Amino acid sequence: MEINKLTTKEHWDENWERIKLPAEIRKEEASPLTLELIKIFEKFLPRQPGLTILEIGGAPGQFLAYFSREFGYIPYALDYSDAGCQKLRENFKLLNLDVHVIQRDFFEDLSDLPKFDIVFSSGFIEHFIDLEDVVKRHLNLLKKDGILVLGVPNFKGINRVILKQLAPKLLSMHNLNNMDYKNWESFETNLGLKTVFRNYIGGFEPRNYRRCEVKNLKNKIIRFVFKPVRIFITDRFLFLRRFNSRLWSAYLLGIYRK
């Protein structure tokens, strides 16, 4: 199954070692994109304290902390990174919240685990080749009539053009086909999912271009151009976030009933 993965455990260990804590989603501190996510969550997810939520690839747990505080969900995280699981525990301790950390490989046999009311992943399914298989494995951990929440960044369209110049290594770790909502229609049908919400959200997001792997003049100019776009346009005129397309939007989000 390793051939299905576009990243390695070593990559994620190194990534989570650098993360700063505490990390938590809060409305008053959220970016415009995160605010759009919160709007969708508050509109479509049940406010029932005591529901269990499992985040796949959950480190460092900022979304789980939000769901715990705002919705009263009981948070579980499944992650195979040693550093990621350590950061999860440290983060929730700093936030004075409880969390259940399951350190397992998502692609091993997980039939011994309980089923959850909500299964959630953000920035996870795009790191794999076989989209339907990855989504099916999410569903294997979900209760009947449970809620599946899937989110991915959108690196297609103009985002692909710019990231190919600024961060080609980052781009290579993502399956861009999994960021196209048209490709989601296949697993929605084959797996018998009931679509509650599925769309691009967040509008155009220049923060997608904050990573620069090659410090040459061309890349410096690109970043110089988009910084004022963010400061003076996209972060100021938030109504622009309502205009979405796979050609420029920041994020693709789906919410389903099993």
For residue range 105-146, list pLDDT tens digits in order: 999 999 999 999 999 999 999 999 999 999 999 999 999 999
Question: Minimal CA–CA distance to 87: which of 48, 59, 51, 55?
Answer: 59
- Model pLDDT for residues 1-20, shown as the tens digit of each residue: 455 899 999 999 899 999 99
Domain that holds residue 109: 2-155+172-203+249-257
Q: Is residue 38 part of a domain?
A: yes
Q: Is residue 105 part of a domain?
A: yes
Helix (H) or strand (E) holding 34: helix 32-44
> In total, how many domains does the chain have?
1
Q: Is residue 181 part of a domain?
A: yes
Residue 58: pLDDT over 90: no
Give the total residue count for the chain. 258
Q: Is residue 224 part of a domain?
A: no
Q: Is residue 160 part of a domain?
A: no
Q: Is residue 239 part of a domain?
A: no
Query: What's the pLDDT score for residue 4?
Result: 85
Query: What's the pLDDT score for residue 152?
Result: 98
- Model pLDDT for residues 213-241, shown as the tens digit of each residue: 989 999 999 999 999 999 999 999 999 99
CB 113 within 8 A of CB 87: no
Residue 32: pLDDT over 60: yes
| Phi, psi for residue 173 in degrees, rounded to 5 | -90, 5
- Mean pLDDT across 160-170: 97
Query: What's the pLDDT score for residue 3?
Result: 56
- Where residue 99 sits, what CATH number does that domain have? 3.40.50.150
CB 131 within 8 A of CB 187: yes
Q: Which two tokens stand for residue 222?
A: 């690109």
Q: Which two tokens stand for residue 86?
A: 């350590």
Q: Is residue 30 part of a domain?
A: yes
Q: What angle do CA 158, 161, 167 make, to 5 degrees?
A: 120
Q: Is residue 240 part of a domain?
A: no
Residue 45: pLDDT over 50: yes
- Model pLDDT for residues 82-95, shown as the tens digit of each residue: 999 999 999 999 99
Q: Which two tokens stand for residue 66?
A: 């939000």
Give percent of the chain above pLDDT 90: 97
Mean predicted lDDT score pLDDT of the chain:
96
Residue 156: pLDDT over 90: yes
